[in-house]
Chain A
Amino acid sequence: MTSTNQAVTRLDGPDKVTGRARYAVEYGANDVAYAWPVQATCARGRLDRAETDAALAVPGVLDVLTHENVLRLHADGEISPAHMGALPDLLLLQSKDLVFRGQLVAAVIAETPEAAREGAAAVVVVTEAEHARLELTVGDDEAIVPDITNDLSPGHVARGDADRDFADAPVRLDTTYSTAANFAMPMEPHAAMATWDGDRLTVHASDQGPPWTAMTLAGLLGLPPSNVEVVAEYVGGGFGSKAAPRPPIMLAVLAARLVGRPVKVALNRQQSTSLTTYRGPSRQRIRIGAGTDGRISSVIHETTGQTSRLTTYADQTVSATRLMYRAEHCRTTTNVLPLDVPTPAWVRAPGEAPGMFALESAMDELAVQLGMDPIELRVLNEPETDPESGLPFTSRNLVSCLRIGAERFGWSDRRPEPGATSDGRWRLGMGVAAATYPHYLFPSTATARVDSAHRYTVRIGAADIGTGARTALHQIAADALKVPMSDVRIELGRASHGSAPFAGGSMGTASWGAAIESACRELRRRISAGGGIPDEGLEAGAETLEVMTPSNFSRHAYGAHFAAVRVDRDTGEVQVDRMLGVFATGRIINPLTAKSQAVGAMIMGMGMALMEAAEPDTRFGGFVTQDLAGYHVPAHADVRDIDAMFLTEEDPNLGPIAGRGVGEIGIVGTAAAITNAIHNATGIRIKDLPVRAENLLLRVAVKAGER
């Protein structure tokens, strides 16, 4: 029997349920000190000075880190290429320019967290504030079309002449959408403990990619990479926000250097809103030209987002639009407006989630306009090859996801006319949306060793941030070694285990798994070549240098989301009764943990649809919603019947592991499925996320013709 393709309970489950699992700042250290940030209160200006006397007089305060005593960083040192966007925010206290509210201007280091916090309140920061631009607007002169967006596709992409085709199309839809900024808000706030030993540095960090983070820290500190160890054995969620080192990690490093003691930094929610990135807001416009039969001939998708003064970051909001449906003519344009705001970056499906909300809402609008079933409209426009590249799909199966999902969900019970179904005060509706997410693979290293007692140890630098990677990789290793899982120990979450990509882009298990598989196979080969295991054991390493897939295919995961909602006629309250996600993601190593991840992503998508709004403070900068009472995420009471299933797919062109990741696809279509269901329930088209009861209030009853 193999270990993979089985529902195996989480390897680290027992450690997590008993509290034994150690997260970043839970390691003991003698003499540990605590740093507490002091943050800029203006959104733009110059730091004059930080007056530290009062802070230094607070009992227990050891020192105050300021721009004057901070270690000079090597801004041009060699860092991980994945961290270019994160770099400027890591150059803590290296410049006196203030470019967003909440920027670090000093930090107080003390014997106890209480003293550090009291000290931080006593630091007097003198700044010269300047007028700041804080509001995202569309069509601003200062907006730019970036050369590349986050997925490396250009800011402007066109095939055919979409604008002309649209102008002449018999059926035209021209519609706008917006999405609020979102915080990742992992349950473990960003945290790190840094310990220096001469010129050697160890950082226990809440981080999605220890090897790359170590490389970047080494580069910025001017140290040889082998001098920096980053440990992330357990990470309390990240959702993209911890896929690059963020300021808290660097703060721990610099503070520890200053006081010559280990230093812990654990941000609170308020601090993390400005220091750990967020999903930027989007303003989108979609135009679809079609024939009266529903065949789409042109799609134009434009988006405007914001970036900080430090870096030009743009989500790939419009990328999925280029390949979702057969459209001879397509244009996508990304605009980004630099503002005096914190830097936006990756949050779960960065771009795909807000962009597909718009595209899949527009498809629903088009279906209504044409009087077609929204599933049939999608099926009719299913492309045979990737419309963007012309390449064949390795597998697509979107139609199967839609059909199987419809059957399971009871789609045939849906009444197409809005407001037709009710239950007392509640208006009921069903909605559907499609989803896609690209399949990435990245080179990785891994090692496998065996001792003379036939005990195997497999090591990889990767982090399990809650995805279940530790368990899936354990399964993969056991199969490759042809031994039971109980004979194999898997060790991960350490930079010194060798280079490995971060846990992000839904590429982890496939990329790491390929390296582990080849290390394990090589070890077996050595065992049989040597005719047994010598006393000192045997070790084999692997490095997957190539991006191990044939290039002449279009590789993406697909999915279909279904939602059944109820909307209170009088209050506008929305409840999601049921959701189903059906996903085509290739081979599933562990159905139990994969399903948990997909369901979790759908719940985050529900949050994006119904409650999550990082509200900008357009007077003073930063965000108004700074904690979990202001920034609402789904709670138990919001989450009723949610199910996810995976199609059985065998796809030989996805690389050795033959699976696509499942971490992100689950969020992609959720919001549109919910808002399309709200339209079906009420006749009200949601254009702006999140849905706000005040936007539904009264309109529900009016639409239903009752007042």
Chain B
Amino acid sequence: MNTDTRSMVRITVNGKVHEQQIDHRSTLLDLLRETLRLTGTKKGCDHGQCGACTVLVDGQRVLSCLKLVVTLDDASVVTIEGLDTDGVHPLQEAFVARDALQCGYCTPGQVCSAIGAMDEARRGWPSLVTPDLANAEVELSTLSREEIRERMSGNLCRCGAYPSIVDAIEDVARQDANGTV
């Protein structure tokens, strides 16, 4: 292969630094799944239409199928495998308790997206359904189900686990009074 089509990229994934030659066509999703063998991040469409590939890049939720690795030099990526270093994230527990999954294929994306969404709400970001956008007061612990649904609508679930996914997010969001999550 012509060496012009590769570049050296330094990227941190779940706290581990990887420095390697990257094919310019490689997406973050394929890097995770095929090269780093972190298969928890799923490929549902490879097109930015389903949310199954959601990961956190520098703290924000991102569709990894739409990110070329070559654009992520010095970025820090957290995947479903790296959400919590000492066990299971409370949201992952809530998903199991609420049966917020069936086949499980959308689940890592739903969880990562929800973590990103909760963080956005914590920072007061409004959504399309937030009343009075100009003077929006958004708080995670009081986020309505409608708000949660809106913010999670980029994550499709063909098994239709939606109501219990919202239950699980609600359970965790309600405990957020002091930002412990």
The CA-CA distance from A448 to B27 in the complex, in Å, is 45
Q: When the two chains form their complex, are residues A466 and B153 in contact, meaning their CB atoms are under 8 A apart?
A: no
The CA-CA distance from A12 to B105 in the complex, in Å, is 12
Q: When the two chains form their complex, are residues B47 and A17 in contact, meaning their CB atoms are under 8 A apart?
A: no
Chain B contact residues, majority secondary structure = loop
Chain A contact residues, majority secondary structure = loop
B-side contacts of A60, CB under 8 Å: 1
Q: When the two chains form their complex, are residues A466 and B103 in contact, meaning their CB atoms are under 8 A apart?
A: yes
CB within 8 Å of A: which of B91-117?
A: 92, 95-97, 99, 101-108, 111
Q: When the two chains form their complex, are residues A237 and B156 in contact, meaning their CB atoms are under 8 A apart?
A: no
Tell yes or no: A707 within 8 A of B by CB: no
B-side contacts of A236, CB under 8 Å: 42, 103-106
Q: When the two chains form their complex, are residues A19 and B45 in contact, meaning their CB atoms are under 8 A apart?
A: no
Tell yes or no: B176 within 8 A of A by CB: no
The CA-CA distance from A577 to B148 in the complex, in Å, is 16
The CA-CA distance from A597 to B102 in the complex, in Å, is 8
Q: When the two chains form their complex, are residues A600 and B104 in contact, meaning their CB atoms are under 8 A apart?
A: no
Partner of B107, one of A16, A118, A468, A603: A16
Interface size class, chain B: 35 or more
Tell yes or no: A18 within 8 A of B by CB: yes
List the one stretch of B31-39, B56-64, B118-126, B130-138 in contact with chain A: B31-39
Q: When the two chains form their complex, are residues B156 and A187 in contact, meaning their CB atoms are under 8 A apart?
A: yes
Tell whether A642 pairs with B34 under 8 Å between CB atoms, given A10-B99, A628-B50: no
B-side contacts of A118, CB under 8 Å: 25
The CA-CA distance from A603 to B157 in the complex, in Å, is 10
List the one stretch of A20-28, A296-304, A538-546, A645-653 in contact with chain B: A20-28
Partner of B159, one of A466, A627, A628, A629: A466
Looking at B101, B156, B160, the one whose CB has the most chain A CB atoms below 10 A away is B160
The CA-CA distance from A627 to B161 in the complex, in Å, is 21
Closest B residue by C-beta to A666: B160
Tell whether A187 pairs with B34 under 8 Å between CB atoms, given A16-B104, A16-B107: no
B-side contacts of A459, CB under 8 Å: none
B-side contacts of A18, CB under 8 Å: 40, 80-81, 88, 92
Q: When the two chains form their complex, are residues B103 and A187 in contact, meaning their CB atoms are under 8 A apart?
A: yes
CB within 8 Å of B: which of A66-95?
A: none
Partner of A268, one of B45, B101, B162: B45
Q: Which residues of A contact B (CB under 8 A)?
A: 9-10, 12-23, 26, 28, 59-60, 112-114, 118, 185-189, 234-237, 239, 266, 268-269, 465-468, 592-593, 595-597, 599-604, 627-629, 633-637, 639-642
30 contacts between A and B (CB under 8 A): A10-B101, A13-B95, A16-B104, A17-B80, A17-B95, A23-B42, A23-B105, A28-B37, A60-B1, A185-B158, A186-B158, A187-B52, A187-B103, A187-B158, A188-B103, A234-B103, A236-B103, A236-B105, A239-B158, A268-B46, A466-B102, A596-B159, A596-B164, A601-B160, A633-B158, A635-B156, A636-B150, A637-B153, A639-B149, A639-B160
